[in-house]
Structures are given as structure tokens and as C-alpha cells.
Structure 1
Amino acid sequence: MQNSLTTLRKERGMTQADLGTLAGVSRQTIVSIEKGHFDPSLPLAFRLAEIFECRIEDIFTPD
């Protein structure tokens, strides 16, 4: 799954650690999602969409 997490995060001046704290996960989890090594659980995807005030589909797209 492709994602725009890095772009959204950087546009808001957030570090991976900042986003991890807001989402309740580790920085390593955010790194893994951004690199496409890990697909988030549905609850985490909803939380990320909530943080960025957008739809899940605006962050994650199928390959």
C-alpha cells in the first residue's frame, strides 16, 4: 500500500516521533509505515486520518 504520510507530516512540521506520540505508537512504527514496510491496523489508520483531518483514502492508496 502506498501512502502520503511523509508529505502530510512534513507539511505540518512534525517529526516521526511527534506523529508517533500523537498516534500512540513508536517512531519506528511511523518509519515502517512511511517506508511501506508495514500497513497500519484499521484503528491506527483512522487515528492518522483524524490527526491530519482527512479521510483514510487521502493518506493510503492501494499499489
Structure 2
Amino acid sequence: MSNEAHKVIATATDRANLAKLAELQPLIEREARMIATIRRIHFDASIKQGFTPDQALALCVKPSLT
């Protein structure tokens, strides 16, 4: 296959990948909002349990118990 053919295929692949990302953008944005909400819930719960804001933030870095 010629170098020109490789360039055409690479361009088509890049365009297809960008189109797929554009299609997924609303889902990615919704997921980011959900993750932020969950992080805020963990932070607020830590504050309610008596942790300082700095401690609560540190706990939110790794919210699992393992």
C-alpha cells in the first residue's frame, strides 16, 4: 500500500474517532457531573462526622475503605 493510501486511511480513522468522541460528549459530561456529585456527598458526610475540611478533602482522594 502506498504512503498516500496510508495517509488517507489515517485521516479517515482520525475523523471517525473524533465523530465518536463528539457523539459521546453528552454521556461524558453527565458522568463527570455524577462523579462530582458523589465526591461532594463524601466530602459533606466527612464534615458531618467531625472531620475538618482539609481532612475531608484528603479522605475524598481515596473514598474506598480498602
TM-score of the alignment, normalized to the shorter chain, above 0.5: no
Q: Which protein, 1 or 2, shows the higher relative CO under an 8 Å CA cutoff with sep ≥ 6?
A: 1
- Structure (1 or 2) with the greater strand fraction: 1
Query: So what's the TM-score if we normalise by structure 1?
Result: 0.30
TM-score by length of 2: 0.29
Whichever structure has more helix as a proportion of its residues is 2
